[in-house]
A and B are shown apart, each in its own frame.
Chain A
Amino acid sequence: MTTTFLTHVRSQLALHKLRAGRGRPLLILHGLGEHSPSLAPPITKGWPGPVLALDFTGHGDSSLPAGGGYTCEALMSDADAVIAEVGPVTVLGYGLGAYVGLLLYGSRPREIRGLVIADGPGFDGGGGRPTSPKLLHVPSNEAANGTPDPWALAELASDTRPPDYAAEHVRQVATLANMDEAIAVVSIGRPEWLEAAMKSTVVFESDIAAALSLFGAA
């Protein structure tokens, strides 16, 4: 594994190359509180191109910001920094990384060739609709102990992920990505945002190997 650090806004993002290859990279986005794998997962064996993995801000080897303030949109921007660096990718997202991948796909529909949505930590966030607002609290001694940032764990486990917001991003993919099958759902979990996304004809159920085979040929 080799690691490159991307300077993005005020973060230093760790981008790991888990396996070399030729062609479009596969980008793995990890779940909440997780970090990139140190080896290319066996399930990616058939992927012809390089296999990359990004540590989101406040996770793994990426930098730890002060004072929290995490949003899925900020993490989407982290993943977009990878596209700026390596060009178009296919995304394999776990949990939080799957939701972030969906937002990114809807925002960069021409620069992603297929998204695989897999189970993982932080899949649901705080649910599909806002609840009573609250003040989150993280003891100051915990916030200085390195990644994963406890602010990320607190904030990204309670953010609202409305079904219509997810559906809006899928509509962008369906209209602009020029792919009949663009988003493969391999998860057991079906948070509200995913149920809404699955109403689109470009979203389909699959398994990781089959989805990567399809997207690798796209």
Chain B
Amino acid sequence: MPSEIETIRAALPQAQRPDRTRRVDVGGIELSVVEWGDKKNQPLLLAHGGFDFAGTFDILAPLLAKAGFRAVAWDQRGHGDSDLAALYTWEADIRDAAMVLASLDSTDPVPVLGHSKGGGMMDQLAEVAPHRISAVINLDGIPNERGFGQKIDRTDVTALDAELAAWLDHRRRAGNSNRRADTLQGLAERRRVMNPRLSVEWLQYLVTVGAQEDTDGWRWKIDPTLRFGPSGAWSPQWAIPRLRGLHVPFLGVVGTVEEEMGWATSPDEALPILPDGAEFHALAETGHFVHIERPEDVAEIVIDFLERAP
């Protein structure tokens, strides 16, 4: 008799767990790295979004592998099956990405793809390692001057006071906190609040990969000490002008339906800030998770772009 996990995964046959898994040490923290496709194929690095994990590529990556790529993703520190860290920062995430890139042992530059936060990370990776990156593909991670969807109004003293205090209060509790346990279906329903456009089958599949079953129920593997905001001094204005300065072929793909976890950057906002010669697609009737809602279309766009990239 199939297990609950097997039953859920069988309901989504187009999703495929990786062909290989390995660990990469990034200064005392081990990252979980996963791969689809033949090891001898052209590598393509995949970076997941914030509060996600490499398993969110379980539909897109097999399509890329089938097209002849060695698709390589990793769980960022504190996410998925990677080690939890004492400290987290954007710069450390970029450094970790560079270590995963180095672990590919590729003598040639490698194309990179990132979703949401991962898209922004890949933009910056191409800046700090310009001769190791051959192309950047950004899936709904293009910033805008309005800021991220959940941004508070920092000119509002009361709102900022509450947000800063809430972040510190969270840190006071974080050492002893744990993610809330639930049934597998319950976790999927909770995620559905954040991602209402994703199917129940996919959300339950995600739980089988990104959560673990403890004695008292299922809980997400992500480090409970992590919390959205405040982002410190960083502002989107730091990244927007730099985007135009990238010197590698660039593909941007955005959804056009606004969702809580995304930037909701419109084509009118995106087009003026992209590098010269960039290719851009705005997918109609599609939300933040473009690669999950429309994996075949996104794979086709990506493969076509990479075939034409120098």
Stretch at the interface among A33-41, A155-163, A179-187, A206-214: A155-163
Q: Give chain A residues whose Cβ lies under 8 Å from the Cβ of B165.
A: 107-108
Is the CB–CB distance between B128 and A8 below 8 Å? no
Tell me the complex Cα distance, A73–B77, Å: 18
Is the CB–CB distance between B86 and A143 below 8 Å? no
Category for how many chain A residues contact B: 35 or more
Nearest B-chain residue to A69, judged by Cβ: B87
Category for how many chain B residues contact A: 35 or more
Is the CB–CB distance between A9 and B171 below 8 Å? yes
Is the CB–CB distance between B168 and A107 below 8 Å? yes
Q: Is the CB of A135 closer than 8 A to any CB of chain B?
A: yes
Q: Is the CB of B98 closer than 8 A to any CB of chain A?
A: yes
Tell me the complex Cα distance, A46–B161, Å: 33
Q: Is the CB of A11 closer than 8 A to any CB of chain B?
A: yes
Tell me the complex Cα distance, A106–B161, Å: 8
Is the CB–CB distance between B29 and A67 below 8 Å? yes
Which residues 63-89 of A have a CB within 8 angstroms of B? 63, 65-74, 76-77, 80-81, 84
Chain B nearest Cβ from A212, distance in angstroms: 25
Nearest A-chain residue to B84, judged by Cβ: A10
Q: Is the CB of B134 closer than 8 A to any CB of chain A?
A: no
Is the CB–CB distance between A80 and B87 below 8 Å? no
Q: Give chain A residues whose Cβ lies under 8 Å from the Cβ of B129.
A: 135
Query: What would 30 A/B residue contacts be, using CB atoms closer than 8 Å?
Result: A8-B175, A11-B86, A66-B27, A66-B29, A66-B85, A67-B85, A69-B89, A69-B91, A71-B87, A72-B232, A74-B87, A74-B89, A77-B168, A80-B168, A80-B172, A81-B171, A107-B168, A108-B168, A133-B91, A133-B94, A133-B124, A133-B127, A135-B128, A135-B129, A143-B28, A151-B27, A155-B89, A160-B233, A168-B154, A172-B161
Residues of A in contact with B (beta carbons under 8 Å apart): 7-11, 57, 63, 65-74, 76-77, 80-81, 84, 106-109, 130, 132-136, 138, 140, 143-144, 151, 155, 159-162, 165, 168, 171-172, 175-176
